[in-house]
Amino acid sequence: MRGMLQRIQRWAERRLPALTRYRRPESLPIELHRRRIYIVPSGFGIGFSALLAVMLVGALNYANNAALLLTCLLGASSAASMLVAFRTLDGVRLSHIRSGHAIAGQSIELTLAFDSSRARNAIRLDLADSHIAFALEANASAQVKLTLPTMQRGWQPLPRLRLWSSWPLGLFRAWSWLHPDQSVLVWPRPEAVGPSPHAPANDARHMRLHRGDELAALRDYRVGDPQRHIAWKASARHDNLMVKDFEQPQSRPQWQLDWRQLGGLDNEARIARLARWLNEAQAQRCNYSLWLPGDEIAGGSGPLHYARCMNALAQLP
Amino acid sequence: MMSSPRRKLAELPIDARAFDLLSLTMALVLGLHSTHLPWWLSIALALTLGWRWWQRRRQSGRVPRWLKLPLLALLTLAVIVQYGGIFGREPGAALAVGLLILKLLETETVRDVRVGISFACFALMTALLFDQGLIATVVVALGLLPALATLRALEPGQLPTSLPRSLLPALALSTAALPLALLAFLLVPRLSSPLWGAPSPNQARTGLSDSMSPGNFTDLLTDDHPAMRVNFEGAPPPADLRYFRAYVMWNYDGRSWRYVDARHVQARETAAIEVGSSIQYQISLQPTQQRVLPTLDVPLQAPAQARLQPDREVMADKPVNDQLSYQLRSALQYRLQPVLDERSQRLGLRLPTGFNPRTLALAAQWRERYGSDNAAIVQAALNLFHDGGFRYTLAPAPLGRNAVDDFLFDTREGFCEHYSSAFTVLMRAAGIPARVVTGYQGGYWNKYADYLLVRYSDAHAWSEVWLTGRGWVRIDPTGAVRPERISLGAAAAAGDQLAWYRNDWLQGLRNRWDIVNRWWDQGVIGFDALRQRGLLTPFGIRDTDTATLGVLLAISSVLFIAIGLAWALLRRQPRDPLRGALRELERKLARKGIARRPAEGPQHYLSRAARALPGQRGELARLMRSYLELRYAHDEPPTEPLRAFLHAVRDFRIGNVVK
């Protein structure tokens, strides 16, 4: 049954694009106007009109003109509420969409900015499984936050979102489909466990260069120390010889995360591993650089750098 | 696919504002119905409502079932005990209001509120079955405001407002809908006969009754609701001729006078009449649930759907359950039944035997004294009432078996019923054919709108005696006791027995207010199928049938929808004179084939235009510079340069283009 409904819907979207929700993606800003706002009575509206019919027949039957007047007033108010429902959506503008960051499988946070020249109440927004209601003040922008589930890394186009309202009485339901031509970038999901990035770089890191340029400390003379390192003046004040200890400065570790070092894995596994390393590096606040095919990101740190690296990972083919 | 989230929406809990508004709506419904509900039920329901409101303020949640079900049973039981059933107008309305209040006990979700509000709208309408006066209708219509405001409060995501302010949009919506509502009211085809049983005539106000026994006018004489309104063609008759006949009663059983419908006895011919002068008038009668149509004095013929009775009373074919208007011509100077037939003579003299011996003796004594001079006997009786120490009061002492004897010789106090009854008995005893007539007398002449308002309190009873050569002559014995009863009306005659609220200035206000009521009764309540058919008479269509009405309704609805759509589609662009001027310039240039491309800025566009129009190069460059200056150098373009720019654009002409 449900499958058939969906088939019918797909067919209708293909064949009757004007009537159905099908709209090609369009660029922001999107302004709602009469050609794209649809309106039907809600279930409550149908029930209420049945009640109005009962009241009408009753008033006519008992020739009670006061009751008839009341029924007419209620009916006319209901009809007028349809126009109000239309006006609630007419002229609403979706000006821009900002997205947060999320890794695949998590929900990404979207911020949609709506504005309008009039104040409006009770506009509702459905996007995938999230529903939200908001009001717009005149000549002001409303930031509507909602979440969108993500499946896999990379650019994910925004689905159609439905803006609807049953304002003011809930008797009519006006709606419009928006299909912004916009995508959100979903970061790759890091692998759960795996080797640490240190291994390939270990030897280089632990090589101690004794011949540095910087005077680190004075220490006792040991056999084999070069004569020219002896600090004669300092030694004169002590009982034994002091040697100037020159060392290469022990720098903060620079992680060089390199696509090429991860041979033997397929692309997605490489990406997942790099993502995990990026997370670790970010957690340890160290400096890291990332080399990817077609993209090389020099060393750096901080959330912006992290985001840049993750974006690059996410966009890998 | 879409239904599951939507179903969840209807199950959402409601907030305090929606519940407050719902409680307000229900309180209003209860208040409107409390006029006919038994007082203990009203109080019990009001307490239930108040308790529920207080309870939910403290903690939201449904009332437990063990409390709800007994309350429901109790309500049904109470209605059955009070009314003896649950069907009919009163018990039905009581049950509906009770159920509505009980619905509040389980109201927690959006759906509950919607059901409650729909039901409340229906209950509001049923209040109009009891009273469709102007004030009641306006109050009921105001009851729609909290109902509509409740529905609004259900919608999530609103800008916050206060409770009183949340009623305003509902008022605006109903006001905007009012023209359409009035139009629909005018044009919805009325039923000429009801689809199912007409409402049971269970009106508390009965008007005149077809029998008269001493004391049964008392309620009527203190009821100053309008009974009918009369418009005269030309000047109204003088106050002492404003007698409206309803029932002519021949039959007396010693206690009460009774009207006998001509359908039930061997028919007599309609009494002949010789007319001196007559008057044309129109009466609009409030519903009485009776067939009798009061007429001014003696009518010449019956209106449509009514028949003239032998004594020239008018009986409608059906009881008057709704307001009814009828046109009549009546005689003011006349001789009614100049020749009395033998049967009428017998009827007019018949008295029950074994009653009122002292009265009979007095009549015999008069007959002896005045011989065959009937007029003198009539005068003697009137003199008795005038000089015999009789008193007019609405609260007379009770009378015994020989009611007329007791009245004439002992109590000597009473009102029109007593006087007309005693007088008629006296006349019959003296051998003068006489009968009792009931109806209305007097009324208030509303000089602001030129009509006569007759109230139930103007009900009156008098006598008619048959005198040779004059026919039936109206004799009002009450007038002998209290002349002001005839010239000023019942209220003046009753003197200080009347309540404080009947004092002069208040009465004046009430009389003026009656103009509005009359307009309402005639224009709205009385707008029936017949009046609707004559709706288009001013436009030359004498009979507007249902099909025409339907077409009219459709056409005018479309008209209203068009107006509504125009409003809905109206988009007020923020006025920007600078932008408008640029648009104008674009139009002028576009006519010469230089249209602005969608992605083209003003600078690029105007430079391109300047290149294309060498003749206007300088001018276009100037325009471009001042546009850029006005647009981008300030937040708001300064007034004077803006005006100069607008002028420049308006005066801009394009010469011949050489391409």
Q: Three-state secondary structure along B291-351?
A: CEECEECEECCCCCCEEECCCCCEEECCCCCCCEEEEEEEEEEEEECCCCCHHHHHHCCCC
Residues of B with Cβ-Cβ distance to A58 under 8 angstroms: 125
Predicted confidence at residue B120, as pLDDT, reads 95
Subunit contact A65:B194, Cβ cutoff 8 A: no
Q: Is the model more confident about B94 or about A237?
A: B94
- The band of B281, judged by pLDDT with boundaries at 50, 70 and 90, is very high
Residues of B with Cβ-Cβ distance to A171 under 8 angstroms: 151
Q: Is the model more confident about B85 or about B48?
A: B48
Residues of B with Cβ-Cβ distance to A169 under 8 angstroms: 148, 151-152
Predicted confidence at residue B204, as pLDDT, reads 45
pLDDT tens digits, A280-301 = 888 887 888 888 888 888 888 8
Does residue B203 register a pLDDT over 60? no
Predicted confidence at residue A250, as pLDDT, reads 47
Residues of A with Cβ-Cβ distance to B567 under 8 angstroms: 83
- The band of B205, judged by pLDDT with boundaries at 50, 70 and 90, is low
Q: Are B84 and B122 in contact (CB under 8 A)?
A: no
Does residue B178 register a pLDDT over 60? yes
The sign of the CA dihedral B627, B629, B630, B634 is: positive
Distance from CA of B151 to the nearest CA of A (A): 5
Does residue B197 register a pLDDT over 80? no
Question: Which of A177-181, B364-368, B443-447, B644-648 has the least mean pLDDT?
Answer: B443-447
User: B496: which residues sit within 8 A by CB, 6+ positions away?
Assistant: none
Does residue A238 register a pLDDT over 70? yes
Predicted confidence at residue B119, as pLDDT, reads 94
Does residue B498 register a pLDDT over 70? no
Predicted confidence at residue B436, as pLDDT, reads 92
Predicted confidence at residue A56, as pLDDT, reads 93
Does residue A269 register a pLDDT over 80? yes
pLDDT tens digits, A133-148 = 899 888 788 899 988 8
**β-sheet bridge partners, residue B252:** B257
Residue the block writes with tokens 């903690």: B59
Supply φ then ψ for residue B38, to 5 degrees: -60, 145
Cα B640 to its chain centre, rounded Å, is 62
Predicted confidence at residue A10, as pLDDT, reads 78
Return the top range by mean pLDDT from B319-323, B493-497, B558-562, B636-640.
B558-562
Q: What mean pLDDT comes out for the span B559-580?
A: 80
Subunit contact A66:B173, Cβ cutoff 8 A: no
Subunit contact A70:B144, Cβ cutoff 8 A: yes
Q: Are A98 and A109 in contact (CB under 8 A)?
A: no
Residue B460 is among the residues annotated as catalytic for this protein: yes
Subunit contact A66:B140, Cβ cutoff 8 A: yes
| Amino acid at site B353 | T
First to last CA, chain A: 39
Distance from CA of A20 to the nearest CA of B (A): 14
Q: Could you say which DSSP state residue A28 is in?
A: S
Mean pLDDT of chain B: 83
Q: Where does residue A145 fall: left (phi above 0), alpha (psi -120 to 50 degrees), or beta otherwise? A: beta
Q: How far is CA B280 from CA A254, B235, B296, B299, B453, in A?
A: 115, 10, 10, 10, 17
Predicted confidence at residue B500, as pLDDT, reads 47
Q: What mean pLDDT comes out for the span A89-117?
A: 88
Q: What mean pLDDT comes out for the span B573-579?
A: 73
Is A54 touching B (CB cutoff 8 A)? yes
Predicted confidence at residue B140, as pLDDT, reads 92
Q: What mean pLDDT comes out for the span B197-224?
A: 65
Predicted confidence at residue B566, as pLDDT, reads 87
Return the top range by mean pLDDT from B189-198, B330-339, B629-638.
B330-339
Q: Is the model more confident about B223 or about B318?
A: B318
Q: What mean pLDDT comes out for the span A59-64?
A: 84
> Where does B498-656 have alpha helices with state H?
504-520, 529-533, 546-569, 577-591, 602-612, 617-632, 639-651
Predicted confidence at residue A221, as pLDDT, reads 79
- For B128, name the nearest residue in chain A, comparing CA atoms only: A67
Mean pLDDT of chain A: 82
Does residue B264 register a pLDDT over 80? no
Residue B406 is among the residues annotated as catalytic for this protein: no
Predicted confidence at residue B659, as pLDDT, reads 44
Does residue B558 register a pLDDT over 60? yes
Nearest-CB residue to A70 (from B140, B157, B572): B140
- For B1, name the nearest residue in chain A, comparing CA atoms only: A2
Is A167 touching B (CB cutoff 8 A)? yes
Q: What mean pLDDT comes out for the span B217-222?
A: 71
Q: Is the model more confident about B194 or about B418?
A: B418
pLDDT tens digits, A6-56 = 888 778 777 776 666 566 788 888 888 888 888 999 999 999 999 999 999
Q: Are A234 and A267 in contact (CB under 8 A)?
A: no
Predicted confidence at residue B201, as pLDDT, reads 44
Does residue A172 register a pLDDT over 50? yes
Nearest-CB residue to A133 (from B157, B190, B561): B157
Q: What mean pLDDT comes out for the span A249-267?
A: 71
What is the domain partition of chain A in residue ranges?
Answer: 2-186, 209-251, 254-314
Question: Which of B362-376, B564-578, B579-593, B606-620 has the least mean pLDDT?
Answer: B564-578
Residue B476 is among the residues annotated as catalytic for this protein: yes
Return the top range by mean pLDDT from B388-402, B491-505, B608-622.
B608-622
Q: Are A101 and A307 in contact (CB under 8 A)?
A: yes
First to last CA, chain B: 62
pLDDT tens digits, B371-405 = 888 888 998 888 888 888 888 877 777 788 888 88
- Provide the 10 A C-beta neighbour count for residue A184: 20
Share of chain B above pLDDT 70, in %: 90
Q: What mean pLDDT comes out for the span B312-327?
A: 85
Is A10 touching B (CB cutoff 8 A)? no
Predicted confidence at residue B117, as pLDDT, reads 94
Subunit contact A62:B121, Cβ cutoff 8 A: no
- The band of A252, judged by pLDDT with boundaries at 50, 70 and 90, is low
Distance CA A24, CA A160 (A): 9
**β-sheet bridge partners, residue B327:** B282
pLDDT tens digits, B452-487 = 888 888 888 899 999 888 889 999 888 877 776 666
The sign of the CA dihedral B123, B125, B128, B134 is: positive
- Provide the 10 A C-beta neighbour count for residue A225: 16
Distance CA B166, CA B155 (A): 13
| Residue of A2, A36, A65, A173 to mutate, interface with B, max B Cβ within 10 Å | A65
Q: Is the model more confident about B541 or about B360?
A: B360
Subunit contact B188:A70, Cβ cutoff 8 A: no
Give the tokens for residue B448: 């602001």
